[in-house]
Amino acid sequence: MNFDIPEELKRLRESARRFVDEELMPLEAEHADSHDIPDDVRARLQARAKELGFWAFDLPEQYGGGGVGALGMCLVFEELAQCNVPAFRAPSVFTPFLGPVLFHGNAAQKEKYLMPVIRGDKRTCFALTENSGGSDPTSMATRAVRDGDHWVINGTKIFITHADKADFVQVFVRTGEGDEAKGRKGITCFLIDKGTPGMRLGQNFKLMSPDRPWELIFENVRVPASQIVGEVGRGWDLAREFLGMGRLIHGPKSIGRATRALRLAIDWANQRKTFGAPIASRQAIQWMIADSQVELHTARLLTYHAAWKADQGQPYHAEAAMVKLHCDEMFMRVVDRAIQIHGGMGLSKEFPLEVMFRDARSRLITEGSSEMQRMIIAGDLLSGKSAIDRFAD
């Protein structure tokens, strides 16, 4: 077994670290609690990333990307996540918010949608979650009914990030009838352009974290059959691929955030004195520091292994569920300990830990709750079939 990170990826990580220190950290005080990076700031940072050769570093080389794979992506995201600018948007500085779905489109779809997103000329969003589904996306009620060469879509999606800025939506709806409409059967993916009659924004959700996702409403939205990605009734396979990679990405984001929290805790413990000695000399503090380091190291090994499997073309969905479960819960514990070590100052908005804590709590639900990840993991062990597919049948 070789645990060494390839030299080219080490260099990439160091370059990303310098970018964070020089370009992102100076913006933290102003934008740490913002729901998004301002468009002018994003454009400037993206231009700088392109100048340095970072742009689309994780996308396949055949589409003009850097082709560094899942492991390289994790190393870079880990660095980006250490800064509150805001952490869940910072990756868009280096690479477009894209997901794997558009790579399955036909030639015309790739030309109209995929390539403009890769160039940074268009933005997109992924609409799967519904109020009736939550952790069970296969229970979606949004439906498309065929009408000649078109489909008419009705329904509502919630918690859709980027919906207000997206030039087009990747939306998943039901298209089957009877038994074909049950579970994962009969789910189809459509691409719908901004401004299409009947599609509109609804409620803007104000969450505990700085994120501000949207409700997306479809009222008799009429789209041609040419807007379907892949085959009718095979959209669940595309959604599952998106969810798998999305859960894997939670790993480096939580690791980066927890690394920053632990570093802050160590610095504070060495500086803060009580009863004539630094609190770092107290056993209670030392144990919190040690436990955090052990959990961080475990999280890295788990994440890097899952990323390696993805890069080898091996199944990694069970590992991605383990990554999301362990890393997000680890982040919550580490940042909680860091706040405890800081005492009253840890609760202050003058310090970065307060917003990190709110971010950590939200991660235990987004991209599938911790309970859902445990169901997926247990499903693999108990039945030989992933729970995400077992319950979708």
* Residue matched to tokens 């009914």: 145
Q: What is the pLDDT of residues 155-170, one digit of tens each?
A: 999 999 889 989 999 9
Instruction: In whole angstroms, give the CA distance from residue 5 to residue 85.
Output: 27
Tokens describing residue 272: 């803060």
Assess contact for 373 and 325: CB atoms under 8 A: yes
What domains can be seen in the chain, in order of their start residue? Answer: 7-98 (1.10.540.10), 124-229 (2.40.110.10), 237-390 (1.20.140.10)
Contacts of 6 (CB under 8 A, 6+ apart): none
Which residues in the chain belong to E strands, given as ranges? 124-127, 143-147, 150-160, 168-174, 187-193, 199-204, 214-224, 228-229, 273-274, 277-278
Task: Give how far the C-alpha of residue 356 lies from the chain's centroid of Cα atoms, to the nearest Å.
Answer: 16
Q: Which pLDDT score, from 0 to 100, does residue 34 have?
A: 76
| 320 confidence band (pLDDT: 50, 70, 90) | very high
Give the strand pairing for 168-174 and 124-127: parallel
What's the chain's Rg over C-alpha atoms? Answer: 22
pLDDT digits (tens, 9 = 90+) for 267-292: 999 999 999 999 999 999 999 999 99
Highest mean pLDDT among 52-56, 83-87, 186-190: 186-190
pTM: 0.90
Q: What is the rounded CA–CA span in Å between residue 104 and residue 230?
A: 6
- 139-152: string of b/e by CB count within 10 Å (b at 16+)? ebebbbeeeeebbb
Least confident of 135-139, 219-223, 286-290, 369-373: 135-139
Mean of the per-residue pLDDT values of the chain: 89
C-alpha 235/C-alpha 175 separation (Å) is: 10
- Per-residue pLDDT for 336 more than 80? yes
In the chain, DSSP finds a helix count (H) and a strand count (E) of: 12, 10
Supply 392's token pair: 């979708």
Active-site positions read 367
Please spell the DSSP secondary structure of 152-176, one letter per residue: EEEEEEEEETTTTT-SEEEEEEE--
Helix (H) or strand (E) holding 254: helix 235-271
